[in-house]
Chains A and B, each alone.
Chain A
Amino acid sequence: MLEPSLAEQYRLDLADAAQTGKYDELYLKYLSKTHGVLTQLLRQLPHLSPTEKQAQGPKLNELKNYVEASIEQGRKDYHQAQVASTDIDLTIPYPPVATGYLHPTTQVIRHMNHFFRYYGFAVGEGPEIETADYNFRRLNLPQGHPATDLQDTLFISEPDMLLRTHTSSIEARILEQYQPPIRVVVPGKCYRNETANPTNSSFFHQYQGFVVDTGITIQNLKWLMTVFHQYLFGNDVQLRFRYKYYPEVSPGMGVDMQCKFCAGAGCAVCKHRGWMEVLGCGMIHYNTLKMSGIDPEIYTGFAWGMGLDRLVMTKFGISDIRKLYGGLAYL
């Protein structure tokens, strides 16, 4: 049954493949599961008489082993010959494989989250379309309070439905939803009714955080803000803590960082103040805790909030907030 020429034919085909490198075709011709010449002969073996089986079986198997081994060896030899003979200019810098990039604001948010997650903070989030209740009233800003002028609000339906003017609205929601102990940071989008210019946009990002527990004091706030700024700007960062009013906290506190450009001497970057305002913070207002169903005689807490965009723009050398959120391309 085994034609004597099959082995010879294979040797000829193998010799061709050694020239062309078409070992896949060679393999399929002899060993394809469905139509390989050798596969079909091997399939017929069980139907042969015992004598024929005894005569053909070993020869076929020997040939099969030879085919498999010679193809594998042939592939290797061919590849090596190719490598040896091909003229590759290894100095050509081909265009790179495309690589992705995270938005600068995402990078800064992650960097900050990394710090606060280490200190046991959860990340909170919530709606951007807000009610005046969560955006103002629960933060100790009753209707008509002059503080509402601070953040000229974009209303969907005045006076109750609006786009949140700060991430403090999420603080109000989380304080209502959870009981202490609470440690949360909230990075997020906010909106104000402003005409866009290089430093202000009607849409911007804030990074908010708050802690509520028993025994929380303004000393804890000062400590956390200190280590946070050391994390962001290095251990030699110089901070100034001063009183500042914010309606949702009492006592309130402003935090300034000594200007890195002039070391406090005063320059154009710091508006000749020697210091740059970095964030506002304070002890969460008695009324805010009370309105959230948290007993302010038992629990105390602190909160802080900062604009993110200026920090991002400084870090990445972007001069216009409109470019940060619409005028970028990445290499």
Chain B
Amino acid sequence: MKIPLEWLADYVDLSKLSPTQIGDAFTQIGLMLDKPFDGKVFDLEHRFDRSDWLSILGCARDLAAYLNVELTLPKTYTQEGKNPASNQSVAIQVDCPAIVRRFNTRVFRNIKVKPSPQWLQSRLEDYGIPAINNIVDITNYVMVELGQPMHAQDLAKFTKQEIVIRQARDGEKLCTFLGDEISLYPESFVLTQDDVATVLGGIVGGRATGVDEHSTDIILDAGNYDQTVIRKVSRKLKIQNETVLRYDKFLHPDLTEYAIQRAAFLILELAGGEYYQNVDWQPAPAQPKTMTLRLSRIAKLAGFTVAHERVADILTRLGYQVLNSSPEGFKVVVPYFRTDVEVEDDIVSDVLRINGYANIPTAQLQSAPPEDITPALYTFEDTVRDIMVQLGAHEFITDPLVSRSEKLAGAQIVLENAQNSHKNALRTQLAGTLAELIPNYTKQQLGSGILFEVGKIYTQQAPATDWHSYAETRVVECLVFNTAALPKDLHKQTSALLTALLNSIGLKGVAYTTTPTAQEAAIMCQNTVLGTVRYNGFTLFTQELLNQHRQVERILTEVQNAQSIETSVVIAKNMAVGDMLSAIQATSPKLVKVDFLEEYTGQEIDSDKRSVLIKTYFTADISQSEAIKLVDAAIFKWKGISH
């Protein structure tokens, strides 16, 4: 909200304050300076709750209350206008009462349209609205001053003495006062003349009935409409202007009357003419909102008491009407322009901010810390991160939004309204995302690295029916790259990393089994799939890891691996070593673990076979010959050869 200093001074005596002090005061009460004061205009950040802060008077009122100075209200013309002759009244018909809450009108006749006086023009220009003529300028001036958009139409351009307000028809056209043609749709509403749209309700006026230098008789309207309709329509039509800025907030219908009285004062003073009553269409006038403020509630939220008289003063300065007061508190009528006040705590807010947030002391939390409800998975993921870093890996956090893929139709979660086609769906896997990071390294002449991310992948069950149809699965993704290494060497590094990670989180009995996809093997533990491993990376499901993880025993004080046997086995190339290791592991509880050492293919081995060297570790209570027999038997059995 822009507030020209000179204009503001109409309502608040600022003579003893510097612009910096005024800016600081605005900031304290909730109207932070958006830009530095330029010598003329305060540019204040506006929060959408306070529709009255889209008016200079609204901002001035709170400033005056905070500074403890009087607020001077603008002059209005409060007398009723003349009664028009029966054939001179303009009828108002509203066919969309769900949208229109009030449509308040007056007629002015024999006015003189001319340029506005310099003071008015310069104030509007300081605000950022160009001056046009006195009538249009007055409607704009009152809009900025009081927050109520208004609109004037030339009665000479009316074909009927009637305004019909109805919803627009699909494809209906309107030529705006700027000469742009816009195409309407039924959610919008229009003011019409003889069924022709002349104004897009609450958004923009039309050229057909606009006021110009030849106009003498005009109808002035101040409407109140459903702000959600204005918001939707203006966004859809991409029209943003000062009218929309205010009408898409919750304005109170009573504001229309105050604005018309102010505009009447200015029109009669600056354009002359006669002033006539006309229809004030309002089927259900809004009732005043009455609320109670307890001093004990202020103390409960603030931790200190504010004196009764101080509270009463603040309330009055802000426009609350105190119906009755008691030592416990106040019964008040909420000012109509404060459409933001919903609950008692909102009035407490008013008291505290006008009293000054700087006057709130600090107090340490006194109560004992409550139960720790941190999910185990959160802590566990941090452990996984630490282990990966210990293993030399670099952590990344990547954007979960990706481009929609037709191949994943049904499984991928797609966004309905993404602005960017490269970011219109959620990722279903992380490996691809990490792979995109490799150029970050290569362009820095870094030829190798281990990348990982602890994150989520997102999938849906088709057809998605409710929130439960969407799954967020937590994974640890790792990618190993080395521009100089062969795939087999990358796999060695990947497998070593994976085993080290699994060992570090205490997983026992991990087995690797083949999958229908040749490019990956399943990582199994206790008949649960922990994830998959590829030649240059792996995916692990964090929740499953947490379920399987055990206390890690890294400290050896007693001999655990009392004896070991190295065994060389010749197997067919297409037989999976992982399966063999699983078979051996299941042999006996006396077998502590089985490790793969190396594989060999060469002249001594048939071309369709390979030699695999494994090492098994046994407890002390088994003889070496028995241990050898166990291993041999397990291998024979696995190979399908009877011993």
Chain A residues within 8 Å of B, Cβ to Cβ: 33, 97-103, 105-106, 110, 119-125, 127-131, 144, 146-147, 149-150, 153-158, 161, 163, 174, 178, 180-184, 189, 191, 193-196, 201-203, 211, 213-220, 222-224, 226, 240-245, 247, 250-254, 266, 271-273, 277, 283, 285-287, 300, 324-331
Contacts and interface: CB of A to CB of B under 8 A. Distances in A.
Interface of B: 27-30, 32-33, 35-36, 47-50, 227-228, 231, 248-250, 300-304, 340, 342-346, 348-349, 352-353, 357-358, 360-375, 378, 382, 385, 388-401, 413-420, 423, 426, 436-437, 440-441, 444, 446, 449-450, 456, 458, 464, 467, 470, 472, 624
A331 B394 CA distance: 9
Nearest to B379: A123
A122 B372 contact: yes
A160 B28 CA distance: 36
A120 B369 CA distance: 5
B463 to A, nearest CB: 11
Contacts of A144: 228
A155 B389 CA distance: 36
Nearest to A217: B303
Contacts of A329: 394, 437, 440-441, 444, 446, 449
Which of B29, B361, B396, B441 counts the most A-chain CB atoms under 10 A from its CB?
A: B396
A217 B348 CA distance: 12
B33 A273 contact: yes
B393 to A, nearest CB: 5
Contacts of B394: 100-101, 329-330
Given A128-B472, A161-B467, A150 B48 contact: yes
19 contacts: A100-B391, A103-B396, A122-B373, A123-B378, A125-B375, A130-B467, A156-B470, A203-B399, A203-B401, A211-B365, A218-B352, A220-B303, A220-B365, A223-B363, A251-B345, A273-B33, A325-B398, A326-B398, A328-B440
Report the 4 A-B pairs with minimum CB-CB distance, sorted nearest first. A120-B369, A217-B303, A100-B389, A98-B392
User: What secondary structure prevails in chain B residues at the interface with A?
Assistant: loop
Contacts of B346: 250
B367 A215 contact: yes
B417 A154 contact: yes
B370 A181 contact: yes
Contact of B357 (A156, A243, A271, A286): A243
Contacts of A98: 392, 449-450
Nearest to A266: B36
A190 to B, nearest CB: 11
Contact of B370 (A120, A147, A163, A241): A120
B30 A243 contact: yes
Nearest to B469: A161
Contacts of A163: 415, 426
Given A122-B373, A286-B344, A327-B440, 8 more contacts: A100-B391, A102-B395, A120-B370, A195-B419, A245-B47, A245-B50, A250-B345, A324-B397
Nearest to A182: B370
Contact of B30 (A214, A242, A283): A242
Contact of B301 (A103, A119, A218, A273): A218
Contacts of B365: 119, 211, 216, 220, 223-224
Contacts of A220: 303, 363-365
A241 B249 contact: no
A251 B364 CA distance: 19
Contacts of B342: 287
A285 B345 contact: yes
B400 A203 contact: yes
Contacts of A180: 370
Contacts of B398: 325-326
A243 B358 CA distance: 10
B363 A193 contact: no
A160 B48 CA distance: 22
A8 B217 CA distance: 134
B301 A300 contact: yes
Given A128-B456, A253-B357, A146 B249 contact: yes
B301 A193 contact: no
B458 A219 contact: no
Given A120-B369, A195-B419, A202-B401, A146 B248 contact: yes
A222 B362 contact: yes
Contacts of A196: 420, 423
Nearest to A183: B370
A112 B220 CA distance: 58
Contacts of B30: 242-245
A203 B373 CA distance: 27
Contacts of B450: 98, 100
Given A103-B395, A224-B365, A273-B33, A251 B419 contact: no
A64 B367 CA distance: 73
A146 B394 CA distance: 42
B296 to A, nearest CB: 10
Contacts of A215: 366-367
A124 B373 CA distance: 7
B389 A242 contact: no
B430 to A, nearest CB: 13
B467 A129 contact: yes
Contacts of A102: 385, 389, 395
Nearest to B47: A245
Contacts of A122: 370-374
Contact of B399 (A155, A201, A285): A201
Contact of B343 (A129, A218, A250): A250
B353 A243 contact: yes
A108 to B, nearest CB: 11
B420 A101 contact: no
Given A154-B417, A287-B343, A326-B437, A251 B353 contact: yes
